Amino acid sequence: MLRRDVFRAGLAGAAGLFGLSRANAATAEERLKVAYHLSDADKVNFVLGNIKNHYEGTNGNVEIVLVVHGPALAAFKSKGASGAVSSRFAGLVQQGLVPQACGNTLLGMDITLTDLLSGFQLAEKGGVVKLAELQRQGYVYLRP
């Protein structure tokens, strides 16, 4: 009787491991989707650093959208952006970052997409609306 119990326990454990490995394989194939929210001008470098770490930590297996509005958007103006922000941002866009500029902030600051660093897309309905839409699409919301 003891042998039968040991055999059943071993069989159950093997089945559990097989199921776990299949679940891990499915998870590895799915790309994590993350929406970063940036509105504070003093957090621009911090957030760009977090995004860089996110790409490195997932070996690039992540879709990241950066939604920028409010005072932080000024840091991405091509004429006023620091060299560090410009180069870091360009590298992240090359890795797949999708930056979204709030349409309301653009209007309020009297700037256009062409005034921003290359790669920005327009969040026509506004940054906060875009963030809500992304969350509805399954993006994880992060506001560092």
Sequence-distant (6+) residues with CB within 8 A of 45 are 84, 85, 88
Q: Is the pLDDT of residue 7 over 80?
A: no
Position 123 scores a pLDDT of: 98
Question: Which long-range contacts (C-beta less than 8 Å, at least 24 apart) are formed by 26-31?
Answer: 28/61, 31/61, 31/62, 31/63
80: number of Cβ within 10 Å: 10
Tokens (6 digits) for 55 = 């790409």
pLDDT in tens, 103-142: 999 999 999 999 999 999 999 999 999 999 999 999 999 9
Position 30 scores a pLDDT of: 82
* 25, 28, 31, 32: CA torsion to nearest 10: 110
